[in-house]
Amino acid sequence: MVGIKKLNMDLTRAGLKRCLDLNELEEMRNDAYLNSKIAKERLKNGMINWWMGPFLIHEVHPNGVVEVFNPKGNQTFKVNGHRLKPFIEPYNADKEEINLLEPQKL
């Protein structure tokens, strides 16, 4: 308030300007919120699972390119080796059977 009086500014005009600035800031925040909400809806609808695997590795090139084979479509295509993830088949306890022997008594 001391700065306003030193600069010969009207206190009511400064208050109105501050109020207008706060309203403009709130309006910008609301616009950003609506834009993010619209973007999230677009992403939610556009996120389709493109994973079609598992694939078999057909050939590995020295520059990091890997040729993979799709057994369902009988086609091969090249991908960046860094994008591949190893597929570990899930463990199924119903199919595994281990026979243990009784320990011998000494």
Distance CA 78, CA 61 (A): 10
Residue-wise pLDDT for 65-94, tens only, equals 999 888 887 888 898 988 888 878 777 767
Residue-wise pLDDT for 3-60, tens only, equals 656 666 678 888 889 999 999 999 999 999 999 988 888 777 655 556 666 788 889 9
pTM of the model: 0.38
Q: Domain coordinates of the chain in residue numbers?
A: 2-46, 49-87
User: What is the pLDDT at residue 67?
Assistant: 92
Tally the residues of the chain: 106
Q: Are strands 56-60 and 75-80 parallel, antiparallel or unpaired?
A: unpaired
Tell me the two tokens of residue 16.
């109105």
